[in-house]
Amino acid sequence: MATDAPPPSRTEHVLPSAEEFGAVQQSAEFAELRRSHRSFAFPLTVAFIAWYLAYVLLSNYAGDFMGTKLFGNVNVALVLGLAQFLTTFLIAWWYARHAAAKLDPKAEAIKSRMEGRA
């Protein structure tokens, strides 16, 4: 008699308990992971928001400056607007490098230890 049930898995993943998650959350290793993330992400977020707001404020209140032609039909507003896109991509690239070098190894160590206990 055939059944439609999938074959049993050779490696069953058992989730850690709520107490184990809580213990890891309170650990120094997890605190270091959070500190590494926050010390990178928060300053960059504040800097980018300040840069974005400066652009918006210049656009609203410094029209003559933003309209200054640099060459041909290219003015300050266009260059700063394109720089917004450039900085967005640079920050994403920089964060990806930071995460791969500093955050991912720490997170993987925590994950491996949690899966080993389960």
Q: Which residues are registered as beta bridge partners of 75? A: 69
Lowest mean pLDDT, pick from 9-23, 43-57, 96-110: 9-23
What CA–CA distances, in Å, run from 118 to 40, 74, 101? 32, 61, 27
Residue identified by tokens 């394109």 is: 82
Across the range 22-39, mean pLDDT stands at 91
Question: Alpha-carbon distance 106 to 32, whole Å?
Answer: 9
Q: Per-residue confidence at 2, pLDDT binned at 50, 70, 90? A: low
Q: Residue 14 in 3-state DSSP?
A: coil
Taking the alpha carbons of 18, 20, 26, 29 in that order, is the dihedral positive or negative? negative
Structure tokens at 16: 């850690």
Question: Alpha-carbon distance 64 to 69, whole Å?
Answer: 10
Across the range 112-118, mean pLDDT stands at 76
Question: Alpha-carbon distance 66 to 89, whole Å?
Answer: 23
Note the pLDDT tens digit of each residue in 48-88. Answer: 999 999 999 999 999 999 999 999 999 999 999 999 999 99
Domain boundaries, the chain: 22-117
